[in-house]
Amino acid sequence: MTAPPPTTRLASVDALRGLTMAAMIVVNNPGSWSAMHPWLRHAPWGGWPRPADLIFPTFLFLVGVSTALALGRRLDAGASRADVTRAALRRAGGLFLLGVLLNLYPEFDAGTVRLPGVLQRIAVVFAGCALAYPRLGPHGLTATAAALIAGYGALLAWAP
């Protein structure tokens, strides 16, 4: 019997992903909505964020980290930038479509379709990371992240 090949997964990313998924389940299915701890509730609109409000941003952070790790591994293995991008965009498109289809289920009512749903937002973040990572170096990615954060802060401060 031979030893299994060493894993290339990053245990810390898997652990944080597991904790995030567990927190998502606890927040969305607390058992009793009337006996729920306040920190498990989402903050009122415009209120100070609670731990429940950090679950989706943490998951999106993990999407970005996982994308960089996976694309980096494929690029290091010799895959072309175009092939890696094409595969990632195909996956993002499928995720977006799945989100739209889930919003249409069980009654097909195009008037109630929610295009900016959860899966659609994950698909957009994934596509953005897949487009940026192979093309921008570390400095470009840092500058892009800083510009996005500054733009988001400005939007929160000055948009009605």
Give the pLDDT confidence of 94-124 residue by residue, as tens digits. Answer: 999 999 999 888 888 878 777 888 999 999 9
Domain positions in the chain: 52-158
**pLDDT of the residue at 5:** 67
Which residues, 6 or more positions from 134, have their beta carbon under 8 angstroms from its beta carbon?
71, 75, 81, 84, 85
Give the pLDDT confidence of 55-98 residue by residue, as tens digits. Answer: 989 999 999 899 999 999 999 999 999 999 999 999 999 999 99
pTM: predicted TM-score of the whole model, two decimal places? 0.79
Between the two ends of the chain, the Cα-to-Cα distance in Å is 65
